[in-house]
Structure 1
Amino acid sequence: MLALLSVSDKRGLVPFAQGLVRLGFELLSTGGTLAALQAAGVPARKVSEHTQSPEILGGRVKTLHPRIHGGLLGRPELESDRAEMAAHGITPISLVAVNLYPFRQTVASGASEAEVIEQIDIGGPAMVRASAKNFRHVTVVVDPEDYGAVLAELEASRATSEETRRRLMRKAFAHTAAYDASISGWLSEQAAEPFPQELTLGFQKVQSLRYGENPHQRGAFYREHAAPAEPTVAFSRVLQGKELSYNNILDLDAALGLVLEFPEQPCAVIIKHNTPCGVALDDALVKAYRTARAIDEVSAFGGIVAFNREVDPATAEALAETFLEAVIAPSYSAEAQKVLSAKKNLRLLEAGPALASPTARPRAQLEARSVSGGLVVHDKDSVEPPLDWKVVSKRAPTAEEEKALRFAWRVCKHVKSNAIVFAEGQKLLAAGGGQTSRVESAKIATARGGEALRGSAVASDAFFPFRDGLDEAARAGATCVIQPGGSVRDAELIAAADEHGMAMVLTGVRHFRH
């Protein structure tokens, strides 16, 4: 029996190869895989000896040979295949362990175009696809995590079952498809072509979820194959707590996106049902969190919290006072972890030091949402640099008002449209969104904020189509407003602001979030 081993990821390679030799397999191998086997004392032959053809073109051509692909694709039940294989000296290959050149890792390392191109595997995908196509006779293994189960089955039955080979076939084609998607995506990036004619996405399963948004819906969590430099939920380390749910993941991502708006200072964000219910900045993390929680303690119960600084013991003690679903932060001190370990079900995610950087920014990327029969894709609404706002009212905002307006504008981006956000200093006071009219969002926010809105700043994610929403904010006590402008009634709105004695600035940028 012949087995061909040629792997980039060498985890578990030697024990797997040793097990195959014990079972009577003769091993064929190439390059670094062969060297690793020989160094461990595992007998293996060069593929070039088997094919009786040398490696050529600097190793670009090693396994592209009829004695390899004939051995993988031959069908022993067909007399014609058996005759041709015998005529050409082709021996069947019954097991293949192949994973592909580290293309994604090479791209992530910042390598040159020439170096990246060299990591486009040719022979590997050809062998994987050939083996998978002929799954009735060939066991193809692309994931080192499968070595143990394959060996155990071979040891028990001297062969793998058709069910196993079918499962490995599906995994093999998914592996090569994701690999090609990575290459296609990189080439599109190189050509500055964010929306190619054929869009192929490749992601790796992290875990099955207990269910999706609701218990009757199935769910799973996927992530990219290589971790980006920027902090992400998908590549955060789970330190404790219950298994993440579909809704936890969405809320954690919303919380992370909002906390990344404020890298310059310790920030605490509380999210409930994908909506901010507490946001505050302060010179100490615990003060920021207590301020954020006090904004709406009822909504904070069962919420998701994000921080942009390490969680210290004082912040951990404050977190422990309220039932929370999950917390994401750059890191946790040992004492903070000890405090929070008493909350057995609380999920703690460590996003890494990039989240604590004063220059932290979310990743510039495409966002995709499924619709019936397709996808809509767009650029992520990323963090903006300081804007050159246009003051259109008679009165310009004071320095304190401008500070509150800038804060409210950054938060507003993360509230469902039609979004209305009230802020004071560097804390959220109230928000309304997800309504079919802007004035209804304003009424919701003013009802929540009450008397606390006296002297506040208000932000609107899009222009006010009528003055009613602005009048509602003025009645609540807002003294200044920020909005994109662009309505046919802008002049009427500016006059209304002047009537109320409010300062108004226009950004020229809209932030709908559907």
Structure 2
Amino acid sequence: MSDRVPMRRALISVSDKTGLVEFARDLSARGIEILSTGGTAKSLREAGLTVIDVADVTGFPEMMDGRVKTLHPVVHGGLLALRDNDEHMAAAATHEIGMIDLLVVNLYPFEETVAKGADYDTCIENIDIGGPAMIRAASKNHAFVSVITDVQDYAALLAELNANDGDTTYSFRQKLAQTAYARTAAYDAAVSTWMAKAIGEETPRRRAFAGTLAQTLRYGENPHQAAAFYTDGSNRAGVATAKQWQGKELSYNNINDTDAAFELVAEFDPAKGPAVAIIKHANPCGVATGASAGEAYRRAFDCDRTSAFGGIIALNTTLDAETARAITEIFTEVVIAPDATDEAREIFAAKKNLRLLTTGGLPDPAAAGDTFRQVAGGFLVQGRDNGVIRPADLKVVTKRQPTEAELKDLLFAWTVAKHVKSNAIVYAKDLATVGIGAGQMSRIDSTRIGQRKAQDMAEALGLAQPLTQGAVVASDAFFPFADGVIALADAGALAVIQPGGSMRDDEVIAAADERGLAMVFTGQRHFRH
């Protein structure tokens, strides 16, 4: 095997014709013979390039609606033959098989077809067969063959040829082969995932996940951990699809926290008014609605000003100048919103380290989807927590009914609790959080932490009463004992929302009744580990 291989013959068959003519013209100018098929050959000829039809090489026409055109020994022999193996080359000579030094293939647009909501039969017809077969053949024989599956690699190949007098190096071909195998793996993953959903197979025997590199990160959660950010092709509005207007590159923790913030604030319909969420270490430290985005931000900020420092801020509506000015009063890592006014962007421009992201929309909190997490020896897969509770779903279990205002606050607090690490306790009043206890090993600890934060904030604001006075409380899972309910009642809370389902529900309800609390059960929990 030689490190450097000259390029004399290429086979090009692509669905995505971006940059095709310019790329092929450069190859042709180098004296490289071009084989092609169907629409690709037509495009190149129309551009004035000389192209040989694969059908003329194989002696067989394209048939069966194009399903069979490159699945032929003349093609695969030209891709797979080992140039330094005398038997391979003798067989090629006997059967008049010409060598193919470059394969350029991008596959039928299966993922795009599914994303458009096409019917089952249309999706099936957009599953490429010949393309993956050729890609795998060329990749296996990367000792001699270069393979390109991404338009973005056209320039890299031309640069390689320029640097090596028309040859390619082994290391370069290795990189192309790795990329190509990843592409076919991702393609097969997309097909298998779609088919499992199409036939109602919720737990298929084998699962595959794939992504496309969006960003190589400086490090992961800590400096000694390597990390990268990949997109999954779903185009779900959020950090993966956002435009970054300013600021340095996002870090691993920035991306994780920004996603948490935006998924939370998307729970609040902008048609019903602005909402703002402030996140620190993937937990909300303040969430509120308001008559304006600026008011919502100030109310969220007043839940826990200390934790908000260096946090992530998400809006469910356009970032305006008033809100931008308020945000710049303290250090903030990232702000993400569906859009931002020109004036808001100008205000942020003075804060060069502040990242501003706009997404053009909000993710649908009720949309189906999967999440997965690695564990030793495997990974866990589950559906996205898209559970939504409405007033009609609630069951009042105490003697006192919640008032209309309390009911609104209860549903607000419940929505926030869904995005707080378990054990989660959320105190809220007038559609704003006033105290949050997150991620504790016992629910009573979360209850007390939320209360203490609310007390500290009240003192900072110069208020005579704790912020929990007259508030409601949401618990992401049931209260296992009455102590948690007693503690929040002592803090001044008036109503509680929780899933119910504890062996001691009767004791918990009795404790609520003794203290005049209203309590409602949802029948649904929101563990978030």
Asked if TM exceeds 0.5, the reply is yes
CA distance in 1, matches of 2:52, 2:90: 25
Range moving further from structure 2, 485-494 or 120-129:
485-494
Candidates 218, 231, 236, aligned match of 1:210: 218
Could you tell me whether the CA contact under 8 Å between 2:103 and 2:138 is conserved in 1? yes
* C-alpha deviation, 1:362, in angstroms: 4.9
Candidates 55, 64, 75, aligned match of 1:57: 64
For 1:316-331, what aligned pairs fall within 5 Å after superposition? 316-331=324-339
Partner residue, 1:227: 235
Residue 294 (1) aligns with residue 298 (2) = no
For 1:166-315, what aligned pairs fall within 5 Å after superposition? 166-228=174-236, 231-263=237-269, 264-315=272-323
Candidates 98, 102, 116, aligned match of 1:95: 102
* C-alpha deviation, 1:233, in angstroms: 2.0
Partner residue, 1:380: 384
Question: Which one-letter code corresponds to 1:472 in the other structure?
Answer: A
Partner residue, 1:429: 434
Could you tell me whether the CA contact under 8 Å between 2:314 and 2:335 is conserved in 1? yes
Partner residue, 1:419: 424
CA distance in 2, matches of 1:153, 1:168: 12
**So what's the TM-score if we normalise by structure 1?**
0.97
Cα deviation per residue 1:106-136 (whole Å; 9 max; x = unaligned)? 1111222221111100111011000001101
Cα deviation per residue 1:386-442 (whole Å; 9 max; x = unaligned)? 142111111111111111111111111111111111000100001102111111111
Cα deviation per residue 1:27-57 (whole Å; 9 max; x = unaligned)? 0111221122112222211111121211111
CA distance in 1, matches of 2:86, 2:525: 69
* C-alpha deviation, 1:68, in angstroms: 0.6
CA distance in 2, matches of 1:316, 1:459: 30
Candidates 128, 137, 147, aligned match of 1:140: 147
Cα RMSD of the aligned pairs, angstroms, is 1.2
CA distance in 2, matches of 1:94, 1:225: 31
Partner residue, 1:453: 468
For 1:90-169, what aligned pairs fall within 5 Å after superposition? 90-157=97-164, 158-169=166-177
CA distance in 2, matches of 1:352, 1:153: 38
Could you tell me whether the CA contact under 8 Å between 2:389 and 2:411 is conserved in 1? no
Cα deviation per residue 1:295-346 (whole Å; 9 max; x = unaligned)? 2111111110111111112112222222110011111111211111111111
* C-alpha deviation, 1:240, in angstroms: 1.6
SS in 2 for 1:10: coil
* C-alpha deviation, 1:353, in angstroms: 3.0
User: Can you give the 5+ residue segments of structure 1 that lack an aligned partner in the other structure?
Assistant: none
Could you tell me whether the CA contact under 8 Å between 2:317 and 2:338 is conserved in 1? yes
- Percent of aligned pairs with the same residue? 51
Candidates 17, 39, 55, aligned match of 2:46: 39
* C-alpha deviation, 1:265, in angstroms: 2.1
* C-alpha deviation, 1:385, in angstroms: 4.3
Range moving further from structure 2, 205-214 or 460-469:
460-469
Residue 509 (1) aligns with residue 524 (2) = yes
Could you tell me whether the CA contact under 8 Å between 1:104 and 1:226 is conserved in 2? no
Could you tell me whether the CA contact under 8 Å between 2:309 and 2:330 is conserved in 1? yes
CA distance in 1, matches of 2:33, 2:515: 87
Could you tell me whether the CA contact under 8 Å between 1:261 and 1:383 is conserved in 2? no
* C-alpha deviation, 1:11, in angstroms: 2.1
SS in 2 for 1:283: coil
Partner residue, 2:463: none
Partner residue, 2:404: 399
Question: Which one-letter code corresponds to 2:308 in the other structure?
Answer: A
Could you tell me whether the CA contact under 8 Å between 1:482 and 1:505 is conserved in 2? yes
**So what's the TM-score if we normalise by structure 2?**
0.94
CA distance in 1, matches of 2:282, 2:59: 62
For 1:7-46, what aligned pairs fall within 5 Å after superposition? 7-46=14-53
Could you tell me whether the CA contact under 8 Å between 2:366 and 2:388 is conserved in 1? no
* C-alpha deviation, 1:354, in angstroms: 4.3
Question: Which one-letter code corresponds to 2:67 in the other structure?
Answer: R
* C-alpha deviation, 1:383, in angstroms: 4.0
Residue 440 (1) aligns with residue 455 (2) = no
Could you tell me whether the CA contact under 8 Å between 2:316 and 2:362 is conserved in 1? no
Question: Which one-letter code corresponds to 2:135 in the other structure?
Answer: V
Candidates 345, 349, 354, aligned match of 1:346: 354
